[in-house]
Amino acid sequence: MRGCFITIEGGEGAGKSSNIEFVRRHLEQHGIKPVVTREPGGTPLGESIRTLLLDERNSEIANDTELLLMFAARAQHLAEVINPALQEGKWVLCDRFTDATFAYQGGGRGIPRQRIAALEQWVQQGLEPDLTLLLDIPVWQGLARAGKRSAPDRFEREQAAFFERVRKVYLEQARRYPERFRVIDASRAQEKVQQTLADVLTAWLSER
């Protein structure tokens, strides 16, 4: 039987890194040991593409090039990690997936939705996450948190208006696909966010 595919999404400073670890532990407490991975990345080739995309020195990457690199990394990720794991009945927990492409390259960069959707269909062949946890946070708050972590990468150097567009499309995705999205208010203290995540996951698992 095919495994389950869970993705965690959110803008800068939403707390994906710490909360994906919480989700992993919660699943393990329910007897599920997920394959944990990320995008862009997840494979040696994908990680090389990630380095190209995040390097602030690569400021001249064209929007279409960025989009195609995202899907090139995703195609390898699907072939090498995600699809084999799901076919073996394993669960996959992924830090970002195609919803991020609609948000960042669609909303942020302004690439038309239909062009992203065409690549989505070609590369994914109908595969979608079973559950998407969207950590939603006001842009100003997320950027303030992100600014305390490390030197900004190529995306983090964008202006607040870019991230407002990203957030808008993320929330549009949640409204478009309510059956798989759960929107989590990530502006609160971490223990409250994680309590909500636990409640959402427990309820979702009980329905399976």
For each of the domains in the chain, give its residue range(s) and CATH number, in order of start: 5-206 (3.40.50.300)
- For the chain, the straight-line distance linking the first and the last C-alpha, in angstroms and rounded, comes to 13
Q: Specify the 3-state DSSP secondary structure of 127.
A: coil
Please give the share of the chain, as a percent, with pLDDT higher than 90: 84
83-87, 145-149, 197-201: least confidently modelled range: 145-149
d(CA 30, CA 123): 32
Q: What Å distances lie between residue 73 and 41, 126, 147, CA to CA?
A: 6, 17, 27
- Cβ atoms of 74 and 41 within 8 Å: the answer is no
Note the pLDDT tens digit of each residue in 97-140.
999 999 999 999 999 999 999 999 999 999 999 999 999 999 99
Note the pLDDT tens digit of each residue in 153-198.
777 777 889 999 999 999 999 999 999 999 999 999 999 999 999 9
Long-range pairs, 200-208, Cβ under 8 A, ≥24: 200/133, 201/23, 201/26, 201/27, 202/26, 204/131, 205/30, 208/4
Whether 58 shows a pLDDT value over 90: the answer reads no
Q: Specify the 3-state DSSP secondary structure of 92.
A: strand
Specify the pTM: 0.94
